A and B are shown apart, each in its own frame.
Chain A
Amino acid sequence: MRHLKGVKVPHLKHTTHQEPVRMSVPPVVKIPMAMHIGAPCRPIVEVGDEVKVGQKIGEPAGFVGAPIHSSVSGKVTSIERMQLFNGRFDTVIIESDGNQTVSDEVVPPQINDTESFLKAVRECGLVGLGGAGFPTSVKLTVKEPAHVEYLIVNGAECEPYLTSDFTTMTTDTDAMIRAINAVCKYIGIRNVIIGIEDNKPEAIDIFKKRASEIDAEFQVKSLPSMYPQGGEKVLIYSCTGRVVPAGKLPLDVGCIVMNVTTLAVLGKYLETGMPLIEKCVTVDGSAVKNPGKVIAPIGASIREVVETLGGYKSVPKKILMGGPMMGMAVPSDECPVVKNNNGFTIFNEKDAIQPEETECINCGRCVATCPLRLMPNRIARAYKLKDVDALKELDIMTCMECGCCSYVCPAKKDLVGTNKLSKALVSGK
């Protein structure tokens, strides 16, 4: 099988074999109503309401969305617009009573056909947990199920530092298999491929051993540890050899890609009815005293998550939601844990400062590295001239923003940042 290009980033997966620590219930959780792609949710609770664990507190405003549930039991103290990493959104603030009383709404879903299955996926509040946060029920709503040939399970976890997906694969295997079988049964998929980078041999072994439990043609693909192996288009190519055309979706080549943790959450929901209210997050980076993994309720602050592990080692200068290659820098450690968080990478001053940019010397490393065969050097020149036609000619909209170009650039240019700005320029935003 041929593979796309990429970069060999340092793995830095120090926390691979650490047991996740369950965080104590925080006194207050701040649950944002925008934790998915699509219109934000509308809060369905009011200030003063008593809420319980798993109770629905936000209803999606449209089809593309996922409901939001309370991660604690307690009282809604305020609903306010809060500045988050992705903008200003309504946020439900709940004071916890510490009892974690489970809501009556939490009952295993009754599923007997595709419709009831999709409803369950929606009620679970599930979004793509690999990072994008696309509502899972929307992804699984396919017009022509006969065209879906492959369910591709994304266990690549190609970002440095992050190990939460590894934990999911090795400890929540039962839930994952339950969810895989349900997706295959109700969507009508006959082939399942799980793609795992070869730096996680234990996870590969587990799925090879349990292959017979999956009610479909099942393959475990050991993939080269080459960033961005877990990129959707990259993974589809590595697993099936199929090329997703520019501007098209995996579904157009008969594939559905689901992250391992998304499946594990779904598997647990099918059994218990407990929706997505907590996440296992990797906490690592040079400013963290004891790198590790924390099971945190959604809405807990980053500061509280880090304190669970013993706090900071040095003054944090940069906090990333996710890993260092695609993670988003957040403005404050008071930002809450959200659904599609899989880790926090926290840097001290030395690691936080970006190297100084120098002139492009046209070395071609970005061209040689781009998995999607774009030419970031020419894109940067076209952007400087605000030449929209040239940017279109250079297929700028194909860029998946993996950051390989910026990573390898000897002039330390912010090439992927320029790509993002170029995409905005071309799409007229």
Chain B
Amino acid sequence: MNENQLIVNFAPHIRSKVSTHTIMRDVIIALMPALVAAVINYGPYTLAIVAVSVAAAVVSEYLMEKIIKKKNTISDLSAVVTGIILAYCLPAGIPLWMAAFGSAVAIVIVKQFFGGIGQNFANPAATARIILFVSFAGPMTDWVTGYPDVVSGATPLATGTASYMDLFMGRIGGSLGETCKLAILIGLVYLLVRKIITWHTPVCFVGTVFVLSALAGTDPVYAILSGGVLFGAVFMATDYVTTPSTKLGRAIFGIGCGAITVLIRQFCNYPEGVSFAILLMNIMAPHIERWTSSKSFGGAKK
């Protein structure tokens, strides 16, 4: 036997089957119920928005990595996830080019400019959504409801008139993937069962919104069923890269997101604060991670 043929490397020599690719695949699966709900509530144009957004994300990631001569990472599916999540943040009547523009911003500016997967400090979809809001305030708040009898109107978060059931099933105006709470909850259960996320962030985020809204004298059930709270808590505030890696840190992150969301809703001239809340907490994430570092087994108190 030729001795040089043996591979010598550090242990361990077996690895779990979970990879970045399988994690992203599971997130995509968890996002699918919301897609079904969006098509039912807002019509087939929804599919075009999601397809364009995903395509723009993948193509811009591919081109960007080509230009800066980095290893191609589109096969890890993270760009697909960003594309879907951004599309879900958009209103049903948005021009397709705007969706494509938003996705490209998310991938090129928020993700690749900071070093690509694992390096970006801000959630790409949340940040791109804010950029779209600021750039195209009109189309970004033109909430379309009642497919097939299309009418546009204000978000129920601003009007406060929808029934709990309509809010829960997504039969309201709003962003594509955010309105049907049932679909989001199905996705949440899938993510928890597959151990992709832990309960800490979503529960603390939604719980904080509930408690603080009640304290502020508003209807707490309405507060958590309207707007992007649930979607943000399940799919955006749980993004690994931009949130703390400790369980306690994730709980604190969720509480912070919830608190900022309620502050914006209560005191700002702006109906929805989830994206801003997540972005602000993204900035805090490295600090929270450091504060919540575990004491090692048998180690001295720090």
Contacts and interface: CB of A to CB of B under 8 A. Distances in A.
Interface of A: 4, 7, 9-10, 160, 233, 237, 243-246, 248, 303, 315-320, 324-334, 345, 347, 351-355, 358-365, 367-368, 371-375, 377-378, 393-395, 398, 401, 403, 406-412, 414, 416-417, 420
B13 A327 contact: yes
B7 A352 contact: yes
Q: Which of B8, B78, B198 is the most central at the interface, judged by chain A CB atoms within 10 Å of its CB?
A: B8
7 interchain residue pairs of minimum CB distance: A364-B245, A359-B118, A403-B12, A417-B10, A395-B296, A372-B297, A332-B3
A7 B250 CA distance: 22
B152 interface: no
Given A367-B245, A367-B246, A398-B298, A358 B76 contact: yes
Contact of B118 (A319, A354, A361, A367): A361
A315 B16 CA distance: 24
Contacts of B7: 317-318, 329, 352-354
14 contacts: A316-B1, A329-B6, A334-B3, A352-B7, A354-B15, A355-B15, A358-B19, A359-B117, A362-B118, A364-B250, A368-B198, A374-B294, A410-B20, A411-B19
Contact of A330 (B6, B15, B243): B6
Nearest to A366: B245
Contact of B6 (A316, A345, A365, A411): A316
Contact of B11 (A325, A374, A393): A325
B11 A373 contact: no
Interface string B255-281: 000000000000000000000000000
Given A233-B297, A398-B297, A407-B14, 10 more contacts: A246-B298, A328-B11, A332-B1, A332-B3, A354-B9, A359-B119, A372-B297, A373-B294, A395-B296, A416-B12
Most buried by B among A245, A332, A364, A372: A364
B16 A407 contact: yes
Chain A CB within 10 A, most for which of B1, B16, B22, B23: B16
Contacts of A332: 1, 3, 6
Given A361-B240, A407-B15, A414 B245 contact: no
A7 B5 CA distance: 31
Interface string B45-86: 000000000000000000000000000010010100000000
B26 to A, nearest CB: 11
A362 B9 contact: no
A219 B22 CA distance: 43
A320 B12 CA distance: 10
A361 B241 contact: yes
A205 B55 CA distance: 61
A408 B302 CA distance: 27
Interface string B286-300: 000100011111111
Contacts of B3: 331-332, 334
A141 B18 CA distance: 46
A367 B294 contact: yes
Given A319-B6, A363-B23, A375 B293 contact: yes
Contacts of A367: 245-246, 294
A197 B73 CA distance: 41
A362 B240 contact: yes
B139 interface: no
Contacts of B116: 359
Given A329-B6, A359-B116, A378-B293, A416 B298 contact: no
A329 B20 contact: no
Contact of A333 (B1, B18, B23): B1
B299 A246 contact: yes
Q: Which of A4, A329, A330, A345 has the most CB of B within 10 A?
A: A329
Contact of B293 (A318, A360, A394, A416): A394
B199 to A, nearest CB: 13
Interface string B101-124: 000000000000000111100000
B22 A410 contact: yes
B245 A406 contact: no
Nearest to B13: A324
Nearest to B249: A364
A10 B1 CA distance: 30
A69 to B, nearest CB: 28
Given A160-B14, A316-B1, A345-B13, A362 B296 contact: no
Nearest to B3: A332
A248 B14 contact: no
Contacts of B76: 358
Contacts of A7: 16
B215 to A, nearest CB: 31
A325 B117 contact: no
B218 to A, nearest CB: 34
A49 B300 CA distance: 55
Contacts of B78: 361
A346 B124 CA distance: 44
Nearest to A372: B297
A410 B19 contact: yes
A228 to B, nearest CB: 10
Contact of B1 (A303, A372, A373): A303
B302 A331 contact: no
B237 to A, nearest CB: 14
B294 A318 contact: no
Contacts of A326: 11-12
Contacts of A233: 297-298
B300 to A, nearest CB: 7
B294 A375 contact: yes
A348 B118 CA distance: 33
A371 B297 contact: yes
A410 B23 contact: yes
A323 to B, nearest CB: 9
Interface in B8-39: 8-16, 18-20, 22-23
Contacts of A368: 198, 247
Contacts of A417: 9-10
Contacts of A378: 289, 293
Nearest to A248: B298
B70 to A, nearest CB: 10
